[in-house]
Structure 1
C-alpha cells in the first residue's frame, strides 16, 4: 500500500536544510518585502532585481534568483529567472555596483596558541577553585577551537558531529564521521582523520571535553546554560562565530573580522605556509574547485602565483 506521508518524509530528508531555508527566504523576500506575485515573469523578476541592485550584494541577488527558480520548478511553471532580460539586468548591476568579496580574517596560529594557553590557565584556576560552573564551557570551547582549526571544519559540520560516530585511536588520532557534507551530494557520508599532536592537540581536547561532560551519544558541541549545565541540543551553526569572538576577546587576543570561517581560513593559510601542495590541501579540507580554495588564502601567502602548488605532498599536521 502506498504511503504518501513516507514518500514526502524521505523527499524532505534528501533536501538540505540550509538550502531549503535559503529558498524559502528568497520567496518570502520577493513576495512580502517587495510585494511581488507568483508565478512571476521575466519582466517582474528583472524589476525586482533592479529594485535591490544597489542595496544587496550580487551573491545575495543570485541566491534570491535560485530560490525563485526552485519555486517555479517545484510548481511546474516555466523558470522566469532564465529570461534574457534577467541576465542582462544582473550583468548591469554587477557592472554598476562592483563590490569587493567580504571574507573572514584567518585565525593565525599565534592567536590560536595564545587562546589555548589562556584556556589552559582558566581550566586550572577553575579546577583548583572548584568553579564547576565555568569548567564545561572552557573544556567545550577548547575542543571546538582546536578541532575546528586542525580539521578546517565549517560551523555546521562542527555542530553536526555526533559522539557515537567518532572513534579515538590512542597514539594515532581520531576518526570522525558525518553522514552529509556540503560536497557529499549523494549523502554517502564522509570520514575525517584528526591528527594527534604534541601541542595544541585536538584529540586531547576532544577527550577532555567528552570525559568532563560524560557524553556517550548525541551532539558533541552542545549548548551550556549560565549555571554550567550541559544541554541536549547542539550549538546552532550561527552561534559559532560569536563564540569565537567572545573567546578571543576574553583571552586578550586582538583579532578583527573573526567569523566561523576564520578557523577554516586559518588552517588553509597555515598549510600553505608549510608547503602543502594543491592536491593535498584540497583533499584534506574538502574543496573540489581550486578557485574556491584560493578564495580562502591571502594574496600574500605565496600561493596565488602557483609556486607552492608544485611542492611535494605534505602530510597532516604532526
Structure 2
C-alpha cells in the first residue's frame, strides 16, 4: 500500500481505537488461540468462554475489532451472524454487570484541592522551590479547566497555548483541533467564563505566567529541576496526578479517576437547573443517552450535592453565548 495512503488511513482512525482493536485481535489470536479469518462458530465459542469474566460491553468491543479486521482484509464478517448476535444478547441477560463509573468530584472537594495546591504553592514560592511552584500552579489550572469545561483527560493533554485566548475577569476560548465528539475532525472551540472563585481563567493565566509559556502544550511534564517538557502530559498520567492532589488535600483519592472532573461538572450543572439540552450543548455530547448516564447518577446521593452554590449560579449558567462556536464562526 502507498505510504501516503497508509498515513491518511491511520489518521482516519483514532489512536485509542487502533490500540483497543489491536489488543482485541491479539487477545483472540494469542491469548485464546483463535484463527483468523474466523468462522461464526469460533466467534460464538470465544464469547461463551469469556461470558462470565468479561463485561458485555468489552465483548462488544472485541466483536467490533474482529469485524473491522475481516472487512479490512476482504473477508466476510462472521460477527454479523444471527447466532453471534443472539449469544451476545443472552450473555447480557445472564451476566448483567453494573457499569463502573467514576465518583464525581463535588464542588467542595474541588475547592479543598485548589486551596491545598495554593497553600503548598505559596509555601514553595517562599522557600524558593520553583519545581514545586510550577507543579502546583499547573495542577490547579488542570483541575479547574478540567472541571468547568468537563474535559476528558486526553482533551486536557491536547490543549495548546497558541489555541487559547483568555482575558482576566472576562473569560476564555479554548480550541481543540479534534475530540471524541468531533467525528469529522473539523475542530471545536469551547468557552468558559471568569468566576469569582475557583476561576479557570485566572488559574490558566497564573500558570502560563509563572511558567513563562507562550506556546506549546498547556500541561507539559515537569522534571525534578523544574524544566518543562516539550511534550504534553500523557492522558494516563492525569489519574495519578489527580489522586496525588486529592491525597495531599486529605481526600480518599482511590474513589476518583480523571473522569471525575467531567462527572463532577455534570452533577453540579444538573443541581443548578441545567436541562439536558443545555448540558449536552456545553459538554459536547451528541446523544441524550451519554448525558443521561451522568444525570441519573445525580439523584443517587442528594445529601452530598451542592445545589445552587452561592457565587456561581449567576456567573455560570446554561445559555452562555459562543459555547461551541469554532474560530471565525
Structure 2 equivalent of residue 110 of structure 1: 108
Whether contact under 8 Å (2:168, 2:205) holds in the other structure is no
Kept in 1, the 8 Å contact 2:269–2:279? The answer is: yes
Q: Are 1:105 and 1:256, in contact at CA under 8 Å, matched by a contact in 2?
A: no
2:252 to 251, 254, 272: 254
Equivalence for 1:300: 299
Task: Count the aligned residue pairs.
Answer: 306
Distance 2:29 2:113 in 1: 46
Q: Please state how far the C-alpha of 1:126 moved relative to its aligned partner.
A: 0.7
Matched, 1:314 2:318: yes
2:144 and 2:199 in contact (8 A); partners too: yes
Contact 1:269 1:301 in 2 (8 A): no
SS in 1 for 2:104: coil
Supply the distance in 2 between the matched residues of 1:16 and 1:172 (Cα, whole angstroms).
Answer: 35
| 1:37 equivalent in structure 2 | 35
Q: Secondary structure at the residue paired with 1:115?
A: helix
Could you tell me which of 132, 135, 144 is aligned with 1:134? 132
Q: 1:81 aligns with which of 64, 76, 79?
A: 79
Matched with 2:215 is: 217
CA distance, structure 2, for counterparts of residue 79 and residue 180 of structure 1 = 30
List gaps (5 residues or longer) in structure 2: 303-316, 321-329
- Which runs of structure 2 are paired with 1:1-318 in the superposition (5 Å)? 4-254=2-252, 256-297=254-295, 298-300=297-299, 314-316=318-320
Contact persistence 1:23–1:64 (CA under 8 A): yes
Instruction: Give CA-to-partner distance per residue, 1:269-299, whole Å, 9 cap, x none.
Output: 0001111111111100111211211112325
Higher mean Cα deviation, 17-26 or 219-228?
A: 219-228
Q: Deviations over 1:55-87 (max 9, x none)?
A: 111111111111111111111111111111211
Q: Which runs of 5+ in 1 are unaligned?
A: 304-312
CA positional deviation for 1:169? 2.9
Quote the Cα distance in structure 2 between the aligned partners of 1:295 and 1:141.
Answer: 28
User: Would you say the 8 A contact 2:131–2:222 is kept in 1?
Assistant: no
DSSP 3-state at the match of 1:133 = helix
Cα distance in 2 for residues equivalent to 1:266 and 1:98? 26
TM-superposed CA distance for 1:239, in Å, is 1.5
Per the alignment, in what secondary structure is the counterpart of residue 99 of structure 2? coil
Distance 1:299 1:195 in 2: 24
Relative to the length of structure 2, the TM-score reads 0.89
Point out the more displaced range, 6-15 or 59-68.
Answer: 6-15
Find the aligned partners of 1:45 and 1:245 in 2 and give their Cα distance.
39
